[in-house]
Amino acid sequence: MVTASMAATLPARAVVEININKGNVEPLPIAVTDFLSGDQLGANISAVIAADLERSGLFAPIDKKAFIEKISNPDAAPRFEDWKVINAQALATGRITKQPDGRLKAEFRLWDTFGGQQLTGQQFYTTPENWRRVAHIIADAIYERLTGEKGYFDTRIVYVDESGSAAKRVKRLAIMDQDGANVRYLSDGRDMVLTPRFSPNRQEVTYMSFSGDRPRVYLLQLETGQREVVGNFPGMTIAPRFSPDGQKVIMSLLQDDGSANIYTMDLRSRTTTRLTNSQAIDTSASYSPDGSKIVFESDRGGRQQIYVMGADGSNPQRISFGNGSYSTPVWSPRGDLIAFTKQSGGQFSIGVMKPDGSGERLLTTGFHNEGPTWSPNGRVLMFFRQPRGAGAKLYTVDVTGRNERQIQTPNGGSDPAWSPLLE
């Protein structure tokens, strides 16, 4: 657990800021000094902060070898001229101290070097093993102060860890920090797991598990490890997604005639409600963030396309009209975009379009890209890529498509799902 105890008074408007709504954002040069600590911990925390900011594509941390001033008192104003010389438009300084009760106290200040003022300052208390979380929280605070939007660094990813040969693939449920650190396994690999989904407001996930040929959907409480069966669903191939309030899940169930239709289930009463009634395969449903609409894929027109309908199943409208087939639509937490997988010409692309189908853009294209999931601020997507003859790997790409990164995991990884910001 991390507690915040103070936030400094902010000026009405920062001199330095990033407009992330522009088409092409030039990364902001920022200096992140080693936090004073008397040991390696301060340097480790500042390294995680700098890595978070750099990976976002919005910041360019300056090499510490270029620093002129050595910060000895993070409470005092820095020598701004020394930082302006190396074009550090923002500067982060800090201190880590161990408290009598064993907790860590982490303090940081963010400075506008060209404006000569402090932009924000906060302090946090946590246990020593939580030092990486503190680093992510500080990175989020810097991101928010300089962009005006919430960050996404203090989050986790649940995914399917894949190991072994293609003939004897072991698929375990795993969870990690958004940067690939602190991997922890949630299943033992005896049963195959698929498509974990995060709750939007709690630290719980749904996922599918096959014991033999019988698919079951489980609800797993991440903090307690408590697991319960949501239901047995023969023919289901994709786990349900949560509604925005976390009270329902939405899923596709196979019918006796080979069609598949979309249903919701109330997690308290376990009652199901049918939303579509077609002879097609309707699947991969995802709610809009306000819960009023649902996006899904269907082959009712002869090929997989994306449709949007009311939350009660009313008025389904096709919104994808490009060449190829579309699948795995996921509504952005911001509500402004829908991410999807597109297959065309033997290539798989991850793309986005507006909820009315306009403005389609492909962010990355290759062999077998699939399964996009949104960061909680709606600025970054994670997906998995499985090149021919190789194992699946996890990647991130921002909504401009210019900043693609591989996430390092111990083994192969697929089916990522991004958590909300941690409490």
Tens-place pLDDT, residues 73-130: 999 999 999 999 999 999 999 999 999 999 999 999 999 999 999 999 999 999 999 9
The model's pLDDT over 319-369, given as tens digits with 9 standing for 90+, comes to 999 899 999 999 999 999 999 999 998 899 999 999 999 999 999 998 899
Q: For residue 22, what are the contacts with CB-CB under 8 A and spacing of at least 6?
A: none
Q: What is the mean pLDDT of residues 7-12?
A: 44
Can you give the length of the chain in residues? 423
* pLDDT category of residue 23 using cuts at 50, 70 and 90: low
Distance in angstroms (rounded) separating the CA atoms of residues 220 and 196:
10
End-to-end Cα separation, the chain, in angstroms: 9
Average pLDDT over residues 263-277: 92
Cα–Cα distance, 266 to 249 (Å, whole number) = 7
Average pLDDT of the residues in 6-31? 66
Q: Residue 270: left if φ>0, alpha if ψ -120 to 50, beta else—which one?
A: left
9 pLDDT above the threshold of 60: no
Q: How many Cα atoms within 13 Å fall on the side-chain side of residue 380? A: 29
Smallest CA-to-CA distance from 66 within 99, 113, 33 is with 33
Q: What is the structure's pLDDT at 4?
A: 64
pLDDT band at 254 (very low <50, low <70, confident <90, very high): confident
pLDDT classification of 256: cutoffs 50, 70, 90 = confident
Count of CB atoms within 10 A of residue 250's CB? 22
Cα–Cα separations (whole angstroms), residue 301 to 47, 188, 225, 279, 333: 51, 41, 43, 11, 28
pLDDT at site 7: 46
Share of the chain above pLDDT 70, in %: 94
Question: What's the sign of the alpha-carbon dihedral 30, 31, 36, 38?
Answer: positive
Task: Summarize pLDDT for 160-215 with one digit per residue, the tens.
Answer: 999 988 778 889 999 999 999 999 999 988 888 889 999 988 789 999 888 767 78
DSSP state of 323: S
Residue 358: Cβ-neighbour burial (10 angstroms; 0-12, 13-18, 19+): exposed
What is the mean pLDDT of the segment spanning 9-29? 65
DSSP 15-26: SS---TTSSSPP
Q: Which residue has the tokens 């963010």?
A: 110
What was the pLDDT predicted at 237? 67
Q: What is the largest distance, in Å, between two alpha-carbon atoms of the chain?
A: 74
Hey, is 70 helix, strand or coil?
coil
| Cα separation, 297 vs 229, whole angstroms | 26
Mean pLDDT of 49-53: 97
pLDDT confidence tier of residue 22, bands split at 50, 70 and 90: low
pLDDT at 1: 67
Highest mean pLDDT among 40-44, 213-217, 301-305, 399-403: 40-44
Q: Classify burial at 9, counting beta carbons within 10 Å of its beta carbon; exposed 0-12, middle 13-18, buried 19 or more.
A: exposed
> Residue 212 in contact with residue 228, Cβ under 8 Å?
no
5: pLDDT confidence band, cut at 50, 70 and 90? Answer: low
- Position 232 scores a pLDDT of 76
Give the number of other CB atoms < 10 A from CB of residue 225. 8
Question: Comparing C-alpha atoms, which of 153, 137, 41, 108 is closest to residue 380?
Answer: 153
More confident residue, 48 or 11: 48
Greater confidence (391 vs 181) lies with 181
- DSSP per position, 324-367: SEEEEEEE-TTSS-EEEEEEETTEEEEEEE-TTS-S-EEEEEES
Section 252-271 average pLDDT: 88
Q: Average pLDDT, whole number, for the chain?
A: 91
Report the distance separating Cα 162 and Cα 77, nearest Å: 50
The arithmetic mean of pLDDT across residues 147-154, rounded, is 96
